[in-house]
């Protein structure tokens, strides 16, 4: 094993640099992973912009990590083996001690590192990870394909599972980007009548190819009226951070319909209580999920041929990948490889 490895670290807010670091040894309950691929997410850009290198060691971003275990620390379950291909998502491994963990709600662990934010992430050739956060990667998926499923995939897969709709119901996906393009594929294969809502006609063909039965250009059409004509949406999954647009779409929910929020946004939603009470409608937030949830999403993706649409760049071009992500040029996910 090499004594050093390459990593892209944040040297000041918004700026990455390539550096060499000493290869660490895993501690109690940790593994060392040789990274093969790491997805580039909008949350990475936020982590990089908000970083405070003056107050802590320069952080390595990235939380859609796939690689192979090269070293095991003490106390790691025998489930995990040297050479095994594994992933690590945004939630870096539960503590098994806090109240949510005692209740089995591991995704809500109160002592869980946030990969790429409160601990180093996958824009690197090596990653130290808690073994409780490890995700087994199925052979049917390449590392590059699997990486975005550990964030965009699991987030939308879980949202659709908890949206309350049943096969044959109308489900609307608001926002056709990195998350939305996965949501369309999952929703179609789960048996929903899928309505994609986006901005502009340029993505209409993509939306239909990805699984939408209908595409609504929210800038040219009245999405609420269009959804009401088919009886309303039993669920709306929103991936965007525009609270005004999301709030305006709430009247399109069918009675007992549910809005599932994936993007916390910067401003609060405006909701009329009568809309919720009168039709027993609901609003729920959805986080990514546990390692077990991620394994279910990966298995489902392999089973029904759901794949992220990706563009691949080498690790040292992370800054260019982020530039393309911010500009909106990417359709639909960037992935870095260590090559």
Mean pLDDT of 68-83: 97
Asked if the model's pLDDT at residue 60 lies above 80, the reply is yes
**pLDDT, average across residues 20-37:** 97
Name the average pLDDT for the chain: 95
pLDDT category of residue 123 using cuts at 50, 70 and 90: very high
pLDDT tier for residue 289 given thresholds of 50, 70 and 90? very high
Tell me: pLDDT of 117 over 90: yes
Calpha distance 197→216 (Å, rounded):
5
Looking at residue 81, its pLDDT comes to 98
Q: What is the mean pLDDT of residues 168-192?
A: 97
Determine the pLDDT at residue 1.
80
Domains, in order of start, for the chain? 4-150+289-337 (3.90.180.10), 163-285 (3.40.50.720)
* Tokens 């997410």, residue located: 41
Region 68-79: what's the mean pLDDT? 97
Beta-bridge partners for 19: 7
pTM tops 0.85: yes
pLDDT in tens, 197-255: 999 899 999 999 999 999 999 999 999 999 999 899 999 999 999 999 999 999 999 99
pLDDT at 143 over 90: yes
What is the per-residue pLDDT for 267?
Answer: 87
Please tell me which residue, 53 or 255, carries the higher pLDDT value: 255
> What pLDDT, on a 0 to 100 scale, did the predictor assign at position 17?
96
Confidence of residue 261 (pLDDT cuts 50, 70, 90): very high
Confidence of residue 50 (pLDDT cuts 50, 70, 90): confident
Nearest-angstrom CA–CA distance, 297 and 303: 10
* pLDDT above 80 for 55: no
Q: What is the DSSP string of 111-169?
A: T--BBTTTB--SSBSEEEEEGGG-EEPPTTS-HHHHHHIIIIIHHHHHHHHTS---TTS
328 has a pLDDT exceeding 90? no
Tell me the three-class secondary structure of the chain, residue by residue.
CCCEEEEEEEEECCEEEEEEEECCCCCCCEEEEEEEEEEECHHHHHHHHHCCCCCCCCCCCCCCEEEEEEEECCCCCCCCCCCCEEEECCECCCCCCCHHHHCCCHHHCCCCCEECCCECCCCECEEEEEHHHCEECCCCCCHHHHHHHHHHHHHHHHHHHCCCCCCCCEEEEECCCCCHHHHHHHHHHCCCEEEEEECCCCCHHHHHHHCCCEEEECCCCCHHHHHHCCCCEEEEEECCCCHHHHHHHHHHEEEEEEEEECCCCCCCCCCCHHHHHHHCCEEEECCCCCHHHHHHHHHHHHHHCCCCCEEEEEHHHHHHHHHHHHHCCCCCEEEEECC
CA-CA distance, 251 to 47, in Å (whole number)?
Answer: 34
Is the confidence at residue 187, as pLDDT, over 90?
yes
Q: Output the pLDDT for position 57.
A: 81
């Amino acid at each position: 094993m090499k004594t050093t490895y390459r990593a892209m670290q944040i040297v000041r807010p918004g700026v990455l640099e390539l550096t060499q670091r000493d290869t660490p040894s895993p501690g109690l309950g940790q593994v060392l992973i040789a990274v093969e691929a790491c997805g580039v997410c909008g949350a990475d850009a936020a982590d990089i912009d908000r970083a405070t290198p003056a107050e802590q060691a320069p952080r390595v971003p990235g939380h859609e990590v796939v690689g192979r275990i090269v070293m095991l620390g003490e106390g790691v379950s025998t489930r995990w083996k040297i050479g095994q291909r594994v992933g690590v998502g945004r939630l870096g491994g539960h503590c098994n001690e806090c109240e949510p963990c005692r209740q089995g709600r591991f995704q809500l662990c109160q002592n869980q590192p946030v990969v790429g934010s409160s601990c180093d992430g996958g824009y690197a050739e090596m990653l130290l990870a808690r073994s409780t956060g490890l995700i087994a990667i199925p052979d049917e998926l390449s590392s590059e394909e699997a990486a975005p499923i550990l964030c965009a995939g699991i987030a939308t897969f879980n949202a659709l599972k908890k949206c309350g709709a049943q096969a044959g119901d109308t489900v609307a996906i608001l926002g056709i980007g990195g998350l939305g393009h996965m949501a369309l594929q999952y929703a179609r294969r789960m048996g929903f009548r899928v309505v994609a809502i986006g901005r502009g006609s340029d993505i209409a063909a993509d939306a239909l190819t990805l699984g939408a039965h209908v595409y609504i250009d929210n800038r040219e059409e009245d999405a609420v009226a269009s959804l009401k004509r088919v009886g309303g949406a039993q669920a709306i999954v929103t991936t965007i951070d525009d609270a005004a647009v999301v709030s305006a779409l709430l009247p399109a929910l069918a009675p007992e319909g549910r809005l599932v929020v994936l993007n916390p946004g910067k401003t609060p939603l405006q909701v009329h209580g009568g809309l919720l009470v009168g039709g027993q409608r609901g609003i729920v937030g959805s986080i990514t999920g546990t390692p077990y949830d991620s394994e279910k999403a990966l298995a489902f993706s392999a089973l029904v041929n759901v794949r992220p649409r990706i563009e691949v760049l080498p690790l040292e071009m992370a800054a260019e990948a982020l530039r393309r992500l911010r500009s909106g040029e990417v359709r639909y996910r960037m992935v870095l490889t260590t090559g």
